[in-house]
Amino acid sequence: MRTDDTPRIVASVLDFAPTAFLARLALVGAYLAGGIAKLGDWPAAVAEQAHFGLAPPALWAALTIAVELVGPLLILSGRLVWLGAGMLGVFTFLAAVIANAFWAMPAGPERFAATNAFFEHMGLVGGFVLVAILARRGRRSA
């Protein structure tokens, strides 16, 4: 008797070796792209931090670039995944609180958009926790 109710086609996709890497790449791709873009346009990276009231903005821009590049590389490499996932999870949570403070906005379309963006970012935080859990479980069973 089968105890796994996963359809065969789904199981074959999930068991396909590159699927896990591609899923991690999909999760961290925007961070890599953001880090590379900020690195390529330092004045814009600094201006972005100043826009959100972070001082000194150059320090925050450098930290943002480091997190957006190092975190994904750790997750993709499979080494210190907990650290990479933690870096991106904390970064994403703080960015959502700073950039999407919907609770401080008057009702209207901007608040609606900020609310959606905030909770989408919380979903990413959950994804990073799951990445760390799965990496830990994978190491224990290896």
- Total domains present in the chain: 1
Q: Which domain holds residue 37?
A: 8-141
CA-closest candidate to residue 75, choices 138, 13, 15, 121? 138
CA distance 140 to 142: 6
Whether 75 contacts 26, CB under 8 Å: no
**Residue at 18 is within a domain:** yes
CA distance 37 to 25: 17
| Report field, pTM of the whole predicted structure over 0.85 | yes
**Residue at 133 is within a domain:** yes
**Residue at 3 is within a domain:** no
CA-closest candidate to residue 57, choices 70, 65, 48, 66? 48
Give me the count of residues in the chain.
Answer: 142
Residue type, 136: R
**Residue at 2 is within a domain:** no
Whether 41 contacts 15, CB under 8 Å: no
- Local confidence pLDDT in tens for the 142 residues of the chain: 456 899 999 999 999 989 999 999 999 999 999 999 999 999 999 999 999 999 999 999 999 999 999 999 999 999 999 999 999 999 999 999 999 999 999 999 999 999 999 999 999 999 999 999 999 998 766 5
**Residue at 1 is within a domain:** no
